[in-house]
Amino acid sequence: MKYMLIMRATDEAFASFQDVPFEEILEAMGRFNDEMISAGVLVAAEGLDDAEKGVVVDYSSEPPVVTDGPYGETKELFGGFYILDVASQEEAVEWAKKAPMAGPGMKTEIRRVTSIDEFPQDNVWIQKERAWREATGQL
């Protein structure tokens, strides 16, 4: 089963890492990533750019409204993710407990990634997506 570990932090938690040398962050993250690679569970991992460099598309009106920067009042920001292929949610939790850059204001949300096999296979859109996944080597 695949699980996504969604790395979240408060604004204050992000700020607390501003004084940590970038090389130290790379070293900690690199060791963690290497451990998951060696265990054969890492499928993907990406960090996200600063939220202030992003945009938000709000669908509350027609047409949708696009605004710069983070999501107005932020309590937590999504900073990156891992996708792990593990046997259970419990195993995903154990990996999350080992994540570096942890501390007050930092959280990891863990959610199972659904498989295309869980959707109705007689649906034309599922069939088209399956064909695309097969053609691109994803299945």
pLDDT higher than threshold 60 for residue 53: yes
| pLDDT (0 to 100) of residue 124 | 95
Q: Is 86 exposed, middle or buried (0-12, 13-18, 19+ CB in 10 A)?
A: buried
Q: How far apart are CA 95 and CA 108, in angstroms?
A: 10
| pLDDT (0 to 100) of residue 13 | 85
pLDDT in tens, 90-119: 999 999 999 988 888 889 999 999 999 999
| pLDDT (0 to 100) of residue 95 | 96
How confident is the model over 25-32, as a mean pLDDT?
Answer: 92
Q: 76 pLDDT band (50/70/90 cuts)?
A: confident
pLDDT higher than threshold 70 for residue 18: yes
Architecture of the domain made up of 2-51+77-135:
2-Layer Sandwich (3.30)
Q: Cα–Cα–Cα angle for 71, 72, 75, nearest 5°? A: 75
Q: Please, what is the average pLDDT of the chain? A: 90
Domain spans of the chain? 2-51+77-135
pLDDT higher than threshold 90 for residue 4: yes
Q: Any idea what DSSP says for residue 39?
A: H
